[in-house]
Structure 1
Amino acid sequence: MAIEDRRERDRAARRQLIVTTARKLAEAEGWDAVTTRRLSTEIEYSQPVLYKHFTGMDQIADAVAVVGFDELATAIRAACTGADSPSDTLSRIAHGYLAFARENPAVYDAMFTRATSLRFADQETPAELVAAFAELRQAIGVVADEQDADSLTELFWAALHGLVTLGRTRRLRPDYESDRVRLLVNQFTDRQRA
């Protein structure tokens, strides 16, 4: 059994090395630079070894995305720490989300803009995706009142994604991010007082 355990640990370590290396290359040079040939050169394993772990680049990018969702859930959870009101919570989440996207552009692309085989809102949705949504939903649930908290969470998430996408492509005024976040948060919290 010890030999099997070691083989499984080695296999998991190789898989992690592939994902980590793909992520580093994508962040440094963009996803077009990440190929199985390049990865095999970078990690010093043959391409067939890569294919023992992943069927191709799309599956590798999906693995990077899953890691990204796990990190995003952690970032959202951390952003909520110390918040003193629903408005403060949503504001911290929004700023944390935007910072995550800014600091991890290739990971964000893997999560949201690249074609993917990952399933969302499905029984087969990876736990990391579910956890990221759950962190957002918990905060939105506080202000949802009688409205569908899942739909409100999807709307908040979509708005944040829009801010990321439009900001990255310089279609929004860069000095007004805080104003936009404040207005977005107000849309979710002011109606609670009405």
Structure 2
Amino acid sequence: MSVQQRKERERADRERLIVATARELAEKDGWDAVTTRRLAERIEYSQPVLYSHFRGKREIIGAVALQGATELAAATRAATAAADGPRAKVYALARAYLDFADRNPAVYDAIFQLDGGLPYAREDTPAPLKDAFAALLETLEGVAGDGVDPGLFTETFWAALHGLATLTRAGRLPRSTSNAEPASWWTASRPTEQPALPRPAPQPRPGRHHRPGRLLTAVALLAFFRESASLGR
């Protein structure tokens, strides 16, 4: 290995350490606790060394966002790949997305809430962000329906998931539970001439593991969006 290659590897290792430490601090104490001084102390490098990788906290947030977007895309794809049929895939997508947001609140905020200096919805949007959206689109474009723009449909469904994730964490929505099957909430397979409202979830059965009701809410919203689009055609 040449001297230049060794230096590049060491630099990449330091950068990964900075990002990992920032994530750890943010998940434990919140993003306000993540400062360049505290990061430098934690990783045992001087602040000038840290600034040689990132110009400040904003760029660190951006790096965490890109890493998180890659993980989110992988999580949703893994969940939908293991599901059988469009109904199950949509349910699996919603569950994986909301689980990711719940398990990684600081990373989720870095992706969707905080200023990491990253362009969104533009030609120069970084590839990990585009891929995270593509991971949603891959499942949802198959259920959007004829005459419905798949991209707009996916954006609308993503907005519903994002709202559920952020409002639940803020305590504005209850963490209710239900074990209802997603098929009772998703009505894409039936005729759209006379759409019906989603049926109420049955009462949980004793002794069974209950699934978060917010997931069912997301799937119910999908049915609503699809039926609304069908009625508007």
Deviations 1:10-57 (Å, cap 9, x if unpaired)?
111101100000000000110011000000000000000010000000
Identity rate, percent: 50
* Correspondence for 1:170: 171
* Correspondence for 2:43: 43
Q: TM-score, normalised by structure 1?
A: 0.94
CA distance in 1 between partners of 2:11 and 2:118 (Å): 22
* Correspondence for 1:93: 93
Q: For 2:142, what is the secondary structure of its paired residue? A: helix
RMSD: 1.7
1:146 partnered with 2:147: yes
Of structures 1 and 2, the one with the larger relative CO (CA 8 A, separation 6+) is: 1
* Correspondence for 1:70: 70
Q: Does structure 1 conserve the Cα–Cα contact (< 8 Å) formed by 2:136 and 2:154?
A: yes
CA distance in 2 between partners of 1:12 and 1:114 (Å): 24
Q: Does structure 2 conserve the Cα–Cα contact (< 8 Å) formed by 1:21 and 1:42?
A: yes
Deviation at 1:83, TM superposition (A): 1.9
* Correspondence for 2:205: none
Deviation at 1:192, TM superposition (A): 8.9
Q: Does structure 2 conserve the Cα–Cα contact (< 8 Å) formed by 1:140 and 1:149?
A: yes
* Correspondence for 1:28: 28
The structure having more radius of gyration, on CA atoms, is 2
CA distance in 2 between partners of 1:81 and 1:174 (Å): 27
Q: TM-score, normalised by structure 2?
A: 0.79
Deviation at 1:78, TM superposition (A): 0.6
* Correspondence for 2:194: none
Structure 1: stretches of 5+ with no match in the other structure = none
1:116 partnered with 2:111: no
* Correspondence for 1:103: 103
Deviations 1:60-99 (Å, cap 9, x if unpaired)?
0110010000000000101102322222111110111000
Deviation at 1:173, TM superposition (A): 2.1
* Correspondence for 2:10: 10
* Correspondence for 2:219: 182
CA distance in 2 between partners of 1:182 and 1:59 (Å): 35
CA distance in 2 between partners of 1:12 and 1:159 (Å): 37
CA distance in 2 between partners of 1:92 and 1:184 (Å): 15
Equivalences, count = 194
Mark the CA change 1:110 to 1:59 in structure 2 (over 3 Å): closer, same or farther. Answer: same
The 10-residue stretch of structure 1 (175-184 or 71-80) with the greater mean CA deviation from structure 2: 175-184
Q: Does structure 2 conserve the Cα–Cα contact (< 8 Å) formed by 1:62 and 1:118?
A: yes
Deviation at 1:190, TM superposition (A): 5.6
CA distance in 2 between partners of 1:6 and 1:139 (Å): 42
Deviation at 1:116, TM superposition (A): 2.8
Q: For 1:68, what is the secondary structure of its paired residue? A: helix
4+ residue stretches of structure 1 with deviation over 4 A? Answer: 188-194
The 10-residue stretch of structure 1 (1-10 or 158-167) with the greater mean CA deviation from structure 2: 1-10
CA distance in 2 between partners of 1:60 and 1:178 (Å): 31
Q: For 2:156, what is the secondary structure of its paired residue? A: helix
